[in-house]
């Protein structure tokens, strides 16, 4: 219980008292790291405890149920590590935020609510922490200043919409006999219509939290305006962990999927994977490119979960943790380099990795995890996802391979920009600005060793893996290993071919902007004509103008006509009776009194 209090309650309470420290910049900057230390203490206490389950009736279905097992301990280890790195980076970066107190409070609320989502065993309590996290996301984006408020509102509306869908799905899930304590999975095939609808609604809500299409459009915009501290902590890491881990709970514990449900998941996964790869290839903003490449891997994770195969599901979870680690490290690196260069444009960041070796090497190690190189957890994850898809839908495997090749090409372009050989003045950086990026890069590189040691925790989540367990599925050289090798070779070769035609790595793939095959799609994406939120806003504005022009003004015209007609009819009649004779007025008063008395007596 003490561990759970330190992990959940302390960060949330600290978020509530953050405004008290807003006039003390040093105390405000130190608060995230202080709370991270307490959370780490809570994790260490939980690490020494035996598996337990706490349940206390609160109000109706809102049973305060929390569970601590090997899988949740693994998630908490990553969350606490991210919290420590965020706290360290915040020591210097908080002062640069437009609204530092809002940023710190949002970070604390995010980590506290994330631990609540990880530990709770009740879907209703999960929803409470889920919405607290949404508020933290809004605050962290809005902390970027006035220019970030529109994006923060967009993220809030999209997140609220997806959460509404999930709540509707959970209501249907309970009506179908599901347990709020996640104890009774609903077989979709037994309830063909209602079960499928309930699953799709919950699936959309969980996928949206991770950044799945079509709920992803705010993420690249947020990367440009929100502090790197907030993006590294929330969209880059915590959102992926919360969204994908709950998605696996939905597909593995709450529902027994049929073919239709799996097909729907695969479609969303593939669209998510490919929808952002083309813009990522030509994007000129370093942070926005990282944000776009934070969306595409969600497609791989969703596709892995869709296999309903132990290998695919375990691969999705491993990819989730690997991606959260390397992507947050990359964003800390991008934030530090942007602060010194004064810009996040690729052209302005060229060669800065050589000027700051700690950041350069941290980014390089994270790159190896991003392209799923041996021995990172990304390699194990891709192997398992490919294995699961090979068993379930071999034809889809080819599309996953194409997506992986394009992802390698994008990440190689970013690495080339950071490590370009050119004269660059070495910027002065404090240790707290580059150490998080380096440590996260090292951690991302060694995630494979962590996962190999934590196989029992994964098997606890995904179920038994047959003879040899999960280890036997990735600890061998087989045809899929050669597929992974082909992905690396073709991805790097694709970048090198694009690089030959340009003067700098930042301009690689720029020819796609003028290519007849891709220019139209890129133009539509840049003009946001493919963004359903922006399209919806324009539709609402158009409807507002129509209503104002043809209905509201028509109502005014009709009302004015009625008033004018009434005056024309009643005016002469009233003027006629108002002749100034005293007796007439007295008679009106007497008649009025009689009517009032009659009504009262009745």
8 Å CB contact between 297 and 269: no
pLDDT tens figures, 230-241? 998 888 889 999
Q: How far is CA 320 from CA 196, 245, 296, 398, in A?
A: 25, 8, 12, 21
Closest CA to 359 of 428, 452, 267: 428
pLDDT tens figures, 120-129? 888 888 899 9
Rounded to 5°, the CA angle 230-231-235 comes to 120
Closest CA to 222 of 320, 133, 277, 295: 295
Strand, coil or helix: what is 68?
A: strand
Task: Specify the pLDDT at position 143.
Answer: 92
Closest CA to 310 of 117, 467, 482, 173: 467
Residues of the chain where predicted confidence (pLDDT) is lower than 50:
none
Closest CA to 330 of 369, 273, 278: 369
Task: Specify the pLDDT at position 362.
Answer: 94
Return the domain boundaries, the chain: 2-514
pTM above 0.75, yes or no: yes
**Given the structure tokens 């179920």, which residue do they identify?**
463
């Amino acid at each position: 219980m003490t561990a759970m209090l330190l992990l959940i309650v302390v960060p949330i309470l600290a978020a509530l008292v953050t405004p008290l420290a807003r006039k003390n910049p040093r105390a405000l900057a130190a608060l995230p790291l202080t709370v991270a230390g307490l959370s780490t203490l809570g994790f260490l206490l939980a690490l020494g405890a035996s598996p337990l389950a706490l349940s206390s009736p609160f109000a109706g279905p809102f049973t305060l149920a929390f569970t601590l097992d090997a899988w949740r301990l693994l998630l908490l280890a990553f969350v606490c590590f991210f919290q420590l790195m965020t706290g360290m980076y915040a020591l210097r970066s908080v002062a640069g935020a437009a609204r530092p107190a809002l940023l710190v409070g949002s970070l604390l609320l995010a980590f506290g609510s994330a631990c609540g989502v990880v530990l709770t065993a009740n879907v209703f309590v999960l929803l409470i922490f889920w919405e607290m996290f949404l508020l933290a996301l809004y605050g962290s984006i809005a902390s970027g200043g006035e220019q970030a408020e529109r994006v923060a509102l967009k993220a809030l509306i999209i997140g609220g919409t997806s959460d509404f869908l999930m709540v509707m799905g959970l209501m249907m899930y309970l009506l179908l006999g599901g347990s709020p304590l996640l104890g009774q999975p609903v077989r979709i095939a037994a309830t063909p219509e209602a079960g499928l609808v309930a699953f799709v609604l919950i699936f959309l809500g969980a996928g949206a939290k991770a950044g799945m299409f079509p709920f992803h459009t705010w993420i690249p915009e947020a990367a440009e305006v929100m502090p790197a501290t907030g993006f590294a902590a929330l969209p880059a890491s915590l959102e992926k962990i919360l969204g994908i881990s709950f998605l696996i709970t939905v597909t593995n514990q709450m529902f027994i999927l049929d073919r239709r449900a799996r097909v729907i998941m695969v479609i969303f996964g593939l669209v998510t994977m490919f929808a952002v790869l083309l813009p990522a290839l030509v994007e000129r903003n370093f942070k926005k490119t990282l944000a776009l490449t934070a969306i595409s891997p969600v497609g791989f994770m969703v596709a892995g979960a869709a296999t309903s195969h132990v290998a695919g599901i375990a691969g999705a979870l491993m990819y989730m943790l690997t991606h959260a680690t390397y992507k947050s490290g990359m964003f800390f690196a991008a934030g530090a380099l942007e602060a010194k260069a004064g810009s996040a444009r690729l052209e302005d960041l060229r060669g800065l990795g050589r000027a700051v070796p700690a950041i350069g090497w941290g980014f390089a190690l994270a790159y190896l995890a991003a392209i799923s190189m041996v021995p990172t957890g990304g390699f194990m994850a891709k192997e398992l996802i490919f294995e699961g898809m090979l068993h379930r839908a071999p034809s889809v495997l080819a599309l996953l391979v194409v997506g992986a090749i394009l992802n390698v090409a994008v990440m190689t372009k970013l690495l080339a920009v950071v490590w370009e050989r050119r004269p660059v003045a070495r910027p002065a950086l404090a240790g707290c600005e580059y150490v998080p990026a380096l440590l996260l890069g090292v951690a991302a590189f060694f995630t494979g060793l962590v996962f190999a040691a934590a196989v029992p925790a994964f098997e606890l989540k995904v179920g038994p893996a047959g003879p040899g367990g999960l280890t036997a599925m990735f600890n061998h050289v087989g045809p899929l290993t050669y597929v992974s090798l082909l992905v690396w070779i073709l991805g790097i070769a694709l970048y090198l071919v694009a690089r030959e035609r340009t003067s700098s790595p930042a301009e690689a793939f720029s020819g796609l902007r003028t290519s007849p095959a891709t220019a139209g799609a890129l133009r539509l994406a840049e003009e946001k004509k493919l963004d359903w939120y922006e399209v919806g806003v324009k539709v609402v504005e158009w409807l507002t103008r129509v209503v104002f022009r043809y209905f509201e003004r028509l109502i005014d015209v009709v009302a004015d006509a009625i008033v004018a007609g009434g005056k024309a009819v009643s005016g002469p009649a009233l003027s006629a009776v108002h002749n100034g004779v005293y007796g007439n007025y007295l008679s009106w008063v007497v008649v009025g009194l009689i009517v009032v008395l009659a009504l009262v007596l009745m």
